Each structure stands twice: as C-alpha cells, then as structure tokens.
Amino acid sequence: MQISKLAAIDIGSNSIRLLISNVIRYQRETHIRKSQLVRLPIRLGVDSFVKGKISKITEEKLLSAMHAYAGIMKVHEVANYRACATSAMRDAKNGDKVRSVIREQTGIDIEIIDGQEEARLILANDFLRNLISEGRDFLYVDVGGGSTEITVFRNGSRNQAHSFDIGTVRLLSGKVENQRWNEMRDWIFANADGLVKPVMVGSGGNINRTLKMAGKPSGSALSLEYLEQQHDFLSRFTQDELVVRLGLNTDRADVITHAQRIFIKAMQWSEVERIYVPKIGLSDGIVRDLYESSLV
C-alpha cells in the first residue's frame, strides 16, 4: 500500500478551509479519503462587500491562518496543494495585493478564481459524476457567502452554468438588490424548462448543517416542504438563541436562514421537490482535480 497526501485551501467569503486528503493506492485501486479538515471563521466578505476592500485587521488574520496552514501541510508532508480564493477576494480592490503579501510571507500561492472555475472544481465529486453517468436531469446549486453557482444538467450532460452575486454574507450585509433575485429567477426559468423529473444537488456549509439538523446521513435528500418548515422554525429565534439553544456556531447562526432562502427559491423556480446533500465543497473538488491532473 502506498499513501501520499494532497491539500486544498478554500478561501471563501464566510470562512477559510484547509482539507488534507490521503491518496491511498492498494493493489490496482486508488482511494481518496479525508485526513484533516480545518475551518477558520475569517469573514472576508464583510470587508469586501461592504467596504470594497480587505481591512488590515482581516488581512492580518488571513496571514496568520496561512502561516498555520503552511505549517500543517509541512507536518503532513503534503505532496501538492492548491489554494483558491472566490467571490470576496475577487471583489476586493486590494485582493491582488493581499495575495502577494501572503505569497511573500508564507510561500502559499493563492489563485483568485472565477465562478466558472469554482463550479468546475466542485463538479469533480463522485456523487455528481454518478448522477451524470445515469443520464439524470438535475440542477447543482452551491451557495457560498458571496455568490451562488448554479449548473443545469440535461440528459446527464452539462447544459448551462451561471454565477450569481447572491450569497449569505452579501445578504447579511444588505448588499443584494431585488434585481439580482430577478436575474436568478429568470435564468432558472429559461434553463430548467423542459427538464425531466429533475432533482437538485446542494452544497455549502449551511445546507450541510441543515441536513445534520434533520438527522440524515450525507447524500440523503431533503424535501422542499421540510426546507420551508425548517427556515420558518429557525427564523423565530434570535442569533443568540440559535447559538445557545440550538448549538450553532456564531458564524453559522447569522447566515443559515439566508442560505435556506436561496435554496428554497431555487427549488421553487425550478419546480424541484427534493434536494440531495452529499456534503461536498470546493476543497473536495480541488483535491480530486489535483489528483487527476498530476496523478501523484
């Protein structure tokens, strides 16, 4: 048996994650399994979407996190890594400057990727590949802090994809105009029309947490009715009550209902009754893509 390690750094609008995975070769089979996941609640989106740039305080937090991630990857003897930043760093006027500082001081080279590349990486997951191989019609919806990526599959083939500037941190900051919602609605109407018995696949920390609250394992489905009821239920609580009484993290408690609202609207507009939640994300796709491109 041979084991090597790959790492992914996902620098999002609500948090940043380091995923380290083992690539296990045994006889003629290869397995990719999570070894460690570290999540830090650094909200780049609050700075980027409200102020237009990353503040010095947030930059220092991000720099400290990257120092820590570099050390963790060194201890794990990671063979290769990729660090990707999404909506918040894309929108920040000083995003490239912050990226340069991090590279100079930690050696970690961050790529600022667009919505299309973000969607491509996430779609590398095995759960989605199985749906594609079955020739299913489905919508893949990834809700982040700064944006929502929607990809439509028709007859098992990728048909259309679009990135919308609607995300949980943008909503929390009051930075989503009605026109943005109208654009997403019209796009879904146009591209989901005629799908045969479509389902939805959802990703992001908030839909994962919603699945956990439902007591269901990864890959299970939630009904639109359940999601609507859960949204109404959580909306009755204050943020403090969600933390103390329901056990949510502080950086989850103030955005989870915003994420549920996005999923609910997407399901209603596409006339989908069930959403599958395989608990996948950008970091998983980065690791898979690294493996397939380098075959370490």
The 10s digit of each residue's pLDDT in 180-214 is 999 999 999 999 999 999 999 999 999 999 999 99
Dist. CA 152–CA 73, nearest whole Å: 35
Dist. CA 171–CA 16, nearest whole Å: 19
Could you tell me the fold of the domain covering 126-280?
Answer: Nucleotidyltransferase; domain 5 (3.30.420)
Say what percent of the chain tops pLDDT 90: 82
pLDDT recorded at residue 293: 86
pLDDT recorded at residue 22: 95
Q: How does residue 125 score in pLDDT terms, banded at 50, 70 and 90?
A: confident
CATH of domain 2-114+283-294: 3.30.420.40
Write down the residue that tokens 């956990």 correspond to. 212
Q: How does residue 295 score in pLDDT terms, banded at 50, 70 and 90?
A: low
pLDDT recorded at residue 2: 86
Say what percent of the chain tops pLDDT 70: 99
Number of Cβ within 10 Å of residue 284's Cβ equals 25
148 and 141 in contact (C-beta within 8 Å)? yes
pTM: 0.88
Cα-Cα-Cα-Cα dihedral sign, residues 178, 184, 190, 195: negative
Q: For the chain, give every domain's residue range.
A: 2-114+283-294, 126-280
Q: Residues 88-117: what's their mean pLDDT?
A: 94
Say yes or no to pLDDT of 118 above 70: yes
The 10s digit of each residue's pLDDT in 213-255 is 999 999 999 999 999 999 999 999 999 999 999 999 999 999 9
126-280 shares the fold of 2-114+283-294: yes
